[in-house]
Structure 1
Amino acid sequence: MRHLLQTAGDAGVGLVATRPEGDVERLLGQAWPFPSPFRVTVRTVPLADGLDRVEARARRSLERMGLPRGDAVLVQNAADLAGAEGRALWGRLQALKERGIFRKIGFVATVEDGPALIARRFQPDVVQVACNILDQRAARSGVIDTLAAQGVEVHLASVFAQGLLFANRESLPPELAAHGMALSRTRRRLAEARVDPMQAALAYALNLPGVASVIASVASAAELRAIVAASHAAKPDIDWDALALDEAPAAVASRLRLHVSNAA
């Protein structure tokens, strides 16, 4: 982890996004460089755990990472804000912001959640939304533009479609088997244009107007170096619309959950 963070800092990565599951927060806390160049975002646990638990776990995330404060805390599921306790949940996060424990508050959403409408209601600082060359709905529908116009800091997640860009038809999960031909067509178009899928994914994400940060998960320093190198490649001259799935299935969106963030 220490080597990964050092590589990230040297490459100019400015944002690390975490989740409360697993042991990553503790490992990060043991490995931060000093001084640390990173802004850190954390996610809440589900509202079903209770308001007190949500607030306590957000504080605990910072404690586990050895941080006095965080850059942002994000509601892990926008649907939590739509329920009966949505306002109370938001009030807890606002209190954390007012106390200086987090600089910003926001939420994670899918296109189906209606993030622009939720943002108008709650006035978040940050919204994380999934968008990639296979599922371009957040861009095509104007969601990203609308959020940015409201002054929201947009974090773009799922840029690699959780590996679907690199999967062959035989390895697709059952819920996506029907889209095997479309995925093969997208990869063929990239090959004909002599564009590496990773470079294409990053070029699409990094050049979307209104996006403040692009999120990508990494498992090693070597993987991070490959992503950084691909991000520096020239933007290809390609028909992005032709790369998207004709109908972005809910199964695709449900698989798009990535963890570590790279500032755009």
Structure 2
Amino acid sequence: MHAPERAIPAPAGAREESLRFLLQTAADSGVSMIATRPDGDGERWLGQAWPFPSPFQVSVCTVPVGDGVDRVEARARRSLERLGLPRGDALLISNAADLAGTEGRALWDRLLALKDRGLYRRIGFCATVEDGPALLARRFQPDVVQLKCNVLDQRAQHSGVLSELASLDVAIHASSVFADGWLFMSGEALPPEMHRHAPTLSRIRRRLAEARVDPMQATLAYALGLPEVSAVVASVASAAELRAVVAAAHAPTPALDWAALQLEPATAAGAGSLRGRISSAA
């Protein structure tokens, strides 16, 4: 996932060249999927910078359903125009709560119609553990669920959500794999709501240092090692960041006690214990 908001400000020409270099680096590195968001100009910038022929499958997110399902459908079509693509790989409802609302069924029917017309090959939704993704999957039968899951928050694995989604033949894309970068921050840099976790994060960083494992390597190894997960989504702002991610992803899988690296115990009974604490994509 391209994160232009984190890129170093640059004139338009330099920005476009930087994005072309990022995409070419991704193609050369074997990255096969680009996840996009409908906010800002990110889609348009990507549409102007694809390598030709493009080797990527593109995942598109919807706008919120608050303005109506007509707006969602129109914007999903517009996303393809901005990206310069005749069709996309996946169209994902950006917030699973939209499916749980009064317009949930009508919204899903619109996505089904776009899929039937061949504009998107697969449809699904983005979710957290709190959204009850397995229950929603049983109701709507998506092709894809993008689920927030990382080494600090292992609830999706230990509560059985991943295995249940896999049993429904749903492709799982793991997002928020870097958990807002908390494992990379010192205690003083943590946001106020995370201060109580500073000692635990310090202990986890010490465990990794003793094992001579880089935090980025650990976070990616955990997500890539989940057998139910078919894709890992990581945001990058530059080719340099992408090269670092790819190098960490290709490093040998470390022999770590993954359960000992959780921020809090994750069990089926306590699956909601981190509500709202590890939810941002990073």
TM exceeding 0.5: yes
Give yes or no for contact 2:34–2:56 (8 Å, CA) kept in 1. Answer: yes
2: distance between equivalents of 1:150 and 1:171? 41
State, as a whole percentage, how many aligned pairs show the same letter: 68
Asked whether 1:140 is paired with 2:158, we answer yes
Give yes or no for contact 2:130–2:275 (8 Å, CA) kept in 1. Answer: no
Deviation at 1:252, TM superposition (A): 2.6
Asked whether 1:257 is paired with 2:281, we answer yes
Deviation at 1:45, TM superposition (A): 0.5
Runs of 4+ in 1 over 6 A off after TM superposition: none
Asked whether 1:43 is paired with 2:68, we answer no
2: distance between equivalents of 1:24 and 1:223? 17
Q: 2:171 aligns with which of 153, 165, 182?
A: 153
Task: Tell me the residue number matched to 1:2.
Answer: 20
Asked whether 1:111 is paired with 2:126, we answer no
Alignment of 1:19-58 (within 5 A): 19-58=37-76
2: distance between equivalents of 1:122 and 1:155? 17
Aligned length: 257
Which residues of structure 1 form unaligned runs of 5+? Answer: 259-264
1: distance between equivalents of 2:237 and 2:86? 26
Spell out, residue by residue over 1:190-220, the C-alpha distance to the aligned partner (whole angstroms, 9 max, x if none): 1111110000011111110110000000010
Give yes or no for contact 1:43–1:75 (8 Å, CA) kept in 2. Answer: yes
Deviation at 1:187, TM superposition (A): 0.6
Deviation at 1:164, TM superposition (A): 0.8
2: distance between equivalents of 1:87 and 1:218? 34
Letter in 2 for 1:226: A
Superposition RMSD in Å: 0.9
TM-score of the superposed pair, with normalisation by structure 1: 0.95
2: distance between equivalents of 1:249 and 1:87? 29
Letter in 1 for 2:175: A
Letter in 2 for 1:252: R
Task: Tell me the residue number matched to 2:228.
Answer: 210
Asked whether 1:98 is paired with 2:116, we answer yes
Letter in 1 for 2:72: V
Letter in 1 for 2:277: V
Deviation at 1:178, TM superposition (A): 1.0
Which residues of structure 2 form unaligned runs of 5+? Answer: 1-18, 266-272
SS at match of 1:74: strand
Deviation at 1:173, TM superposition (A): 0.6
SS at match of 1:252: coil
Letter in 2 for 1:43: C
Q: 1:239 aligns with which of 216, 234, 257?
A: 257
Letter in 2 for 1:15: M
Give yes or no for contact 2:64–2:94 (8 Å, CA) kept in 1. Answer: yes
1: distance between equivalents of 2:68 and 2:200? 42
